[in-house]
Structure 1
Amino acid sequence: MFKKILIANRGEIACRVIKTARKMGIQTVAIYSDADAQALHVQMADEAVHIGPSPANQSYIVIEKVMDAIRKTGAEAVHPGYGFLSENKLFAEALEAEGVAFIGPPAGAIESMGDKITSKKLAQEAGVSTVPGYMGLIEDADEAVKISNEVGYPVMLKASAGGGGKGMRIAWNDQEAREGFQSSKNEAANSFGDDRIFIEKFVTQPRHIEIQVLGDKHGNCIYLNERECSIQRRQQKVVEEAPSPFLDEETRKAMGAQSVALAKAVDYSSAGTVEFIVDGDRNFYFLEMNTRLQVEHPVTELITGIDLVEQMIRVAWGEKLSMKQEDIGINGWAIENRLYAEDPYRNFLPSIGRLTRYRPPAEKSKSDYVVRNDTGVYEGGEISMYYDPMIAKLCTWAPTREEAIDRMRVALDSFEVEGIGHNLPFLSAVMDHERFVSGNITTAFIEEEYPEGFEGATLKPAALRQIAAGCAAMFRVAEIRRARVSGRISNHKRKVGKKWVVTLQGESFAVKVKADDKGSTVKFEDGEKLRVTSDWLPGQSLAKMKINGETVVLKVDQISAGYRIRSRGAELKVRVRSPRNAELAQLMPEKLPPDTSKMLLCPMPGLIVALDVKEGDEVQEGQPLCTVEAMKMENVLRAEKKGVVSKVNAGVGESLMVDDVIMEFE
């Protein structure tokens, strides 16, 4: 077996590979850019080599710099993770010429399957059902519009060398096809160094379901069931699960058989994924093959018990697969939520900065449930603008889908992240959404259910009562502490009241708290009683409770006369007052936010790459004003209404922070 491998990647996937290598007794080498000098993968590896400046195209994807690191350290093999060089045949060839093993498929398979245009042609030749489209090279935007009309709107414009949602646009008309073509080319060139674009029919009401394949160098190839990846935003996966709640055994076998046949057609070895679009009648169409490990591979590992990274390493060493197709079953249900550094309240725009608090739920592996968190960050670390915004992948496993969702709800509520914008509230809201819980989902789920963006979850009455009861019990504990301090100072004890009014989400509950040694019973005006037990103490940021036997986790911040509570995707200001103070609070005027209606504010930290207007220009609603680039994604900012530009405060090439004023209007 290899004695030392180099991981040609960063972040959580580099940490993930290091964990398996360590388990196998293999030493690891990390590479890092300027921005990643203090990164977690650098700290975890046995050795680390600096390879250049922060931008990936000056460090992580420069083949010769990675080769230099291999030579310096004597690494015998390289695991590429995903992204960067993982599907670059020139990198695989460079390793082969150097006599270094590539922990991935042969260069020929990468070339055939990694290029989406070539792979679709090969799939058609192999009899695999494919989505209608144009797979030739497209020269310019005019040709893109012409082809889009021939295929029929809506269409998907995709980067041939793309992945992870980069270089991808949906167009519903000529204008969107024209704009999308140029943006896709720009993103593809920046992310992959390859700006070729192809066009295919966008299938409405689709599910995105993929098959995990695993092959060795001896002609053996199997499939490890499917993953449902339909919860997507801007063609980027957000929630994945295994198995799919939609497939039946017959469809699973047919998709698996086609996937294996396609892999064998290109002499595939190592782990790979064949992606399909599946319609409501379970007809499936080949999309592409990813010749690498997928971001969502943990859910497959959790339902099969197979460590895919270990299998990749063993295949690269030359071992035969130790399992056959009949050995692969489905044990329970697994769900993965991707935690991104993006602000769901600002249309999911990227967020960067320091993680002032980063405390994931404890990882556990028990007979009836598993909590797993694949991450590459730590408290106090920086989220950089140079790379993908993913912070962690939180996974849960349980015997049934319902139980796996329940475990995920608690895990998300227990995950503390401060200092940056993040999508934890949105993930929690999805886990509670009726459509997701029912399994009735498509790739259009987010745009259909959150057409105006995400503004926080609105909790149902039962959940509001739970939080009201929990906060009343917490407030009583805090009041007892204050009373004891007051008593020590003034030589007389303050009495702690039993009656309180709890106000949250526009509602008020008059409650009476009766406490004993084991907890509190909170009685509402209508007679309902909720039993609250918790070991929470004032100052703690996380309150884990049992309320009538149900686990409830609240993120807690102290505010005047109560708490800022975050739970189940909702952020609430919860006021706990005496009945008299509650009466007086109703007389207080409401503070109004400042008027920014005549300003274009930068919605995220980023770089101005284009300005489409100048001072004095009249703009129409929906007209492009400027383009901001962050984390390798271009974001076009448009006019919300008709107006005249009175002042432009930023220029092309300037870096801006959140809420910097880009331009003002009359």
Structure 2
Amino acid sequence: MFEKILIANRGEIACRVIKTARRMGIATVAVHSDADRNSLHVRMADEAIHIGPPPAAQSYIDIERVMSAVRATGAQAVHPGYGFLSENPKFAQALQAENVAFIGPPVGAIESMGDKITSKKIAAEAGVSTVPGYMGLIADADQAGRIAGEIGYPVMIKASAGGGGKGMRIAWNDAEARDGFRSSKNEAASSFGDDRIFIEKFVTQPRHIEIQVLCDTHGNGVYLGERECSIQRRNQKVIEEAPSPFLDAETRRSMGEQALRLAQAVGYASAGTVEFIVDAERNFYFLEMNTRLQVEHPVTELITGIDLVEQMIRVASGEKLSLTQDDVVLNGWAIESRLYAEDPYRAFLPSIGRLTHYRPPEEVKAGPLLSKWLEPAPEGETAVRNDTGVFEGGEISMFYDPMIAKLCTWGPDRDAALAGMRDALDGFEVEGIGHNLPFLSAVMDHPKFIAGDITTAFIAEEYPDGFQGVDLPEDHLRQIAAACAAMHRVAEIRRSRISGRMDNHERVVGSDWVVTLGGQRFEAQIAAYRGGADVSIGGATLRVESGWTPGDRLACITIDGAAIVLKVAKITHGFHIRTRGADLRVHVRTARQAELAALMPEKAAADTSKMLLCPMPGLMVSVDVAEGEEVQEGQVLAVVEAMKMENVLRAERKGVVSKVNAAAGDSLAVDDVILEFE
């Protein structure tokens, strides 16, 4: 077994590998860029080596810089995580040349499966069902349009060396095919150093379901069930679960056997994932094989009890698999929610900055320490696991993937896992940046998701105008209003007892309040007692019990015996409340205060209709118009890159450019003015 391994990655996956290595008694080496000098993975590792400036091309995917760190530390093996160099055969070859083990598959498997064009040909030869498409090299955008038309729209335009949703576009017509080809090619070049593109038929109403395989160097292999990854945005997975609520036992077995057959056809050894598109009739088609650890691997670990990172390390050291297919038992249900640094209220645009407050829910009976089967939990019990690479006070950089954490829950069945996830999301506190926690909570309560009626178009179809928050039903608003009235009374009593004031001069705090939230107005009367209050509101009396004290950011409240969790921030005359995907400003006032507040004018928003504002912090890739130029509706105005993704900004209507305020290479903040119009 290895004595020291280097992790050629960053963030949560580097931390994840370190945890397993530590449990196995293996020393670890972290590598880091300037931007990651104080990152969590650097703090956790036994050693840390600086490898360059923030851009990944000059640090994490610079093979020679990583190899220098390997030589300097004497690491015997390298775990690549996912992304970066994880599927780069040249990196694996460089390690092999210096007798350093690559904790991943053989070079030949990486080359054949990492290239999506070659992998589809091999899959077809191995008898794996494949999607129709054009696997040859495509010279330019015009050829892309012609090929797409021949295949038949809609089509998927994909980077041959791609992964993680980078370099992928769906086109529904010739214009989108040409534009998608250009953007995919640029993203592929910047993310993977390989700009080859292929096109295939896009299966409508598809589900994205993948099979986890595990093989050793002695010819043994198993498949570890499937993961449902259909909740995606811009081809980037957001929520995953295992098993899939859609598959039956026969389809699961057939997909697993085909996945394993493909892995063995290329001499695969290590953990890998074979991805399929599955239609409404459970017909499945090979999509690609990821020759690395997947982001969503924790849900497989939680339902099988197998530590995939440990297995990868053991296989790389030459050990045989210690389990057979008959040993693989799927136990319970697991769900993963990816917490991203992106603002769901601004079309999910990336957000960067400092994590001023970061408190994930407490982990319970879960995590990479599991190496045996999970024992059945008592009825209703759930497990919580949070894989993260950040900490309170740390920075979210514009240079890397926006994922902050992967929150996972396990339960004896899907309903229990869902309930556990709702509670865990409610208790996850993040401040300082935009994040998608409200959106994740909204999905968990969505009727279609609860029913398992999902496709890869779920987000586009259910949130066609973007995410605007959740409109809670009136009974839920009434509960929140009652809770806030009780909390406000506690805060007012605290304020009345300022230091130095005599008890007999304390201000009397009333029991009658007017609560406004979500367009609703409630009159509340409070009858307090030790530990709680009876709140008469909206024609009902609710018993509110809580240990909340002013200043607490999280309020765990029981209303008529049912528990709710509120994220709380103080505002004038009330609270900023977030819960279950809703974002509410709750005002609690006396009757006279409420009467006067209704007379206050609302501040008008600034007129920015004649400006193109930068929608996210990022790097200006190009400005495609000039001063004095007349532009048409839908015309490309500029391209901004943020967190490894290109974002094309188009004209909303016809106009004339009067001023250009930015140029290619500029770093921009949110709402910086790029263009002005007459």
Q: Could you tell me whether the CA contact under 8 Å between 1:410 and 1:551 is conserved in 2?
A: no
In the aligned structure 2, how far is the partner of 1:548 from the partner of 1:624? 55
Map Cα deviations across residues 530-562 of structure 1 (whole Å, 9 max, x no partner): 222221110111111222232211111111110
Q: 1:480 Cα shift?
A: 1.5
Give distance in 2, aligned partners of 1:150 and 1:489.
85
**What displacement does 1:93 show?**
1.4
Distance 2:521 2:301 in 1: 46
User: Aligned AA for 1:190?
Assistant: S
- Given that 1:211 and 1:275 are in contact with CA atoms closer than 8 Å, whether structure 2 keeps it comes out as yes
Q: Does 1:447 align with 2:464?
A: no
Residue 225 of structure 1: aligned partner: 225
Equivalent position of 2:469 in the other structure: 456
Q: Which amino acid aligns with 1:551?
A: A
Q: Which residue of 2 aligns with 1:105?
A: 105
| Cα distance in 2 between the residues matched to 1:484 and 1:630 | 49
How far apart are residue 487 of structure 1 and its match?
8.7
Amino acid at match of 2:468: E
Residue 264 of structure 1 deviates from its aligned partner by 0.8
Q: Deviations over 1:472-525 (max 9, x none)?
A: 111111112122338925842322222211110000111222221232222223
Residues 1:432 and 2:445 are matched in the alignment: yes
Instruction: Tell me, in whole angstroms, the C-alpha distance in 1 between the residues paired with 2:331 and 2:403.
Output: 28
Q: Which residue of 1 aligns with 2:524?
A: 511
> 1:306, 1:533 → 2: CA distance?
42
CA shift digits 1:127-163 (9 cap, x unpaired) = 1111110011111111101100000011111000000
The one of 577, 581, 584 equivalent to 1:569 is 581
CA distance in 2, matches of 1:488, 1:512: 27
Supply the AA of the counterpart residue of 2:415: E
2:531 and 2:547 in contact (8 A); partners too:
no
Identity of aligned residues (%): 74
Partner of residue 402, structure 1: 415
Is 2:677 the partner of 1:665?
yes
Aligned to 2:117: 117
Alignment counterpart, residue 594 of structure 2, candidates 569, 582, 594: 582
Distance in 2 between residues matched to 1:549 and 1:200, nearest whole Å: 54
> Shift in Å at residue 572 of structure 1?
0.7
1:193 alignment counterpart = 193
Aligned to 1:599: 611
Matches within 5 A, 1:515-664: 515-526=528-539, 528-664=540-676
Match of 1:185, SS state, is: helix
Shift in Å at residue 592 of structure 1?
Answer: 2.0
Rounded to whole Å, the distance in 1 between the matches of 2:500 and 2:491 is 14
Q: How does 1:312-323 map to 2 (within 5 A)?
A: 312-323=312-323
Residue 111 of structure 1 aligns to a residue whose secondary structure is helix
Q: Deviations over 1:569-620 (max 9, x none)?
A: 1111100112232222222222222121111110011111111212222222
1:67-106 pair list within 5 angstroms: 67-106=67-106
Query: Is the partner of 1:258 in helix, strand or coil?
Result: helix
Q: 1:481 maps to what in 2?
A: 494
Number of the residue aligned with 2:482: 469
SS at match of 2:181: helix
**In the alignment, structure 1 residue 383 sits paired with structure 2 residue 396:** yes
Is 2:426 the partner of 1:416?
no
Query: What is the aligned partner in structure 2 of residue 31 from structure 1?
Result: 31
SS at match of 2:515: strand
What letter matches 1:15 in structure 2? C
d(CA) in 2 for partners of 1:629, 1:72: 34
Q: Where does residue 330 of structure 2 map in the other structure?
A: 330
Tell me by how many angstroms 1:363 deviates. Answer: 1.2
Moved more, 285-294 or 488-497: 488-497
Q: Which residue in 2 is equivalent to 1:171? A: 171
Aligned AA (2:663)? G
Cα deviation code 1:613-651 (max 9, x no counterpart): 122222222111111111111111111122222221112
Aligned residue identity for 1:555: K
Within a 5 Å distance, the mapping from 1:114-153 to structure 2 comes to: 114-153=114-153
Amino acid corresponding to residue 131 of structure 1 in structure 2: V
Contact 1:335 1:404 in 2 (8 A): yes
- d(CA) in 2 for partners of 1:463, 1:561: 21
Determine the structure 2 residue equivalent to 1:501.
Answer: 514
Task: Report SS of the residue matched to 1:214.
Answer: strand
Aligned residues of 2:478 and 2:538 also touching (Cα < 8 A): no
Aligned-residue CA RMSD (Å): 1.3
Does the 8 A contact of 1:486 with 1:493 survive in 2? Answer: no
Give the distance between the partners of 1:543 and 1:183, measured in 2 at CA.
45
Query: Residues of 1 paired with 2:563 and 2:42: CA distance?
Result: 37
Distance 1:173 1:40 in 2: 45
SS in structure 1 at match of 2:430: strand
CA contact (8 A) 1:487 1:493 kept: no
Aligned to 2:270: 270
* Runs (5+) with no aligned partner, structure 2: 367-376
User: What is the aligned partner in structure 1 of residue 247 from structure 2?
Assistant: 247
1: CA distance between counterparts of 2:551 and 2:577?
Answer: 13
Does 2:256 align with 1:256?
A: yes
SS at match of 1:160: strand
CA distance in 2: counterparts of 1:123 and 1:543, whole angstroms: 53
Shift of 1:456: 1.4
- Aligned partners of 2:108, 2:276: CA distance in 1, in Å? 22
1: CA distance, partners of 2:409 / 2:479: 24
Question: Which residue type is aligned with residue 87 of structure 1?
Answer: E
Higher mean alpha-carbon deviation, 120-129 vs 409-418, is at 409-418
Deviation at 1:392, TM superposition (A): 0.7
The amino acid that maps onto 1:42 is V
Q: Specify whether residues 65 and 525 from structure 1 end up closer, same or farther in structure 2 by C-alpha distance, changes over 3 A only.
A: closer
Change (3 A) 1:525 1:147: closer
Q: Distance in 2 between the 1:471 and 1:487 partners?
A: 28
- Work out whether residues 646 and 664 of structure 1, in 8 Å CA contact, stay in contact via their aligned partners in 2: yes
Match of 1:359 in 2: 359
CA contact (8 A) 1:486 1:492 kept: no
- What's the TM-score once normalised by structure 2's chain length? 0.96
8 A Cα contact 1:154 1:173, kept in partner: yes
State the 4+ residue runs in structure 1 displaced beyond 6 angstroms: none
Amino acid at match of 2:479: Q
Which residue is 1:311 aligned to?
Answer: 311
Q: Flag structure 1 segments of 5+ consecutive residues without an equivalent.
A: none
1 CA distance for matches of 2:561 and 2:24? Answer: 42
Partner of 1:364, secondary structure, is coil
Q: Distance in 2 between matches of 1:647 and 1:321?
A: 64
Conserved? CA contact 1:342–1:348, under 8 Å: yes
CA–CA distance in structure 1, aligned partners of residues 356 and 411 of structure 2: 32
For the Cα contact (< 8 Å) 2:620–2:663, is it kept in 1? Answer: yes
2 CA distance for matches of 1:486 and 1:618? 66
Q: 2:93 aligns to what SS in structure 1?
A: helix
* Structure 1 residue 100, shift from structure 2 partner: 1.0
Tell me, what secondary structure is at the counterpart of 1:208? strand
Mapped contact 1:212–1:226 kept (Cα < 8 A) = yes
Q: What are the equivalent positions in structure 2 for 1:48-59 lying under 5 Å apart?
A: 48-59=48-59
Asked whether the 8 Å contact 1:109–1:266 carries over to 2, the reply is: yes
